[in-house]
């Protein structure tokens, strides 16, 4: 009985630590898949997909180096906002106007859904 209680406590502790780590960051490939989903009726050309993957990869590296350089979340927020703004500009430069509008609409819908608790 004590072993079972110990195992349950251990599993609970491990799961609590894993949830404390926060939401995992998306890989560049996952970000590209998300863009493809949001602009669903429209499609990306192979050239656009390659360029977007490169942009997302560079952004991930920049974000990771910023997290390492400035561990305090509040202190790095202005820099992260600037990175996010630059990323949006780069992505919109690669997409056609129709694709950019569809992506913006999808992002707005996702944001509204998250504000409602994710349901």
Residue pLDDT tens, the chain, 119 long: 555 444 434 454 545 444 445 557 788 888 888 888 878 778 888 899 899 999 999 999 999 999 999 889 899 999 999 999 999 999 999 999 999 999 899 889 989 988 887 66
What is the Cα–Cα distance from 5 to 105, expressed in whole angstroms?
A: 49
Q: Write down the number of H helices and E strands in the chain.
A: 5, 0
**What span, in angstroms and rounded, lies between the C-alpha atoms of 83 and 49?**
20
């Amino acid at each position: 009985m004590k072993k079972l209680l110990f195992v349950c406590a251990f599993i609970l502790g491990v799961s609590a630590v894993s949830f404390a780590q926060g939401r995992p960051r998306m890989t560049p490939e996952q970000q590209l898949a998300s863009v493809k989903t949001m602009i669903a009726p429209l499609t990306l050309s192979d050239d656009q997909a390659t360029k977007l993957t490169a942009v997302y990869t560079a952004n991930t590296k920049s974000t990771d180096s910023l997290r390492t350089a400035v561990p305090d979340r509040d202190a790095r927020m202005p820099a992260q906002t600037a990175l996010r703004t630059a990323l949006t500009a780069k992505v919109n430069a690669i997409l056609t106007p129709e694709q950019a509008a569809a992506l913006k609409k999808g992002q707005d819908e996702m944001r509204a859904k998250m504000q409602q608790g994710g349901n």
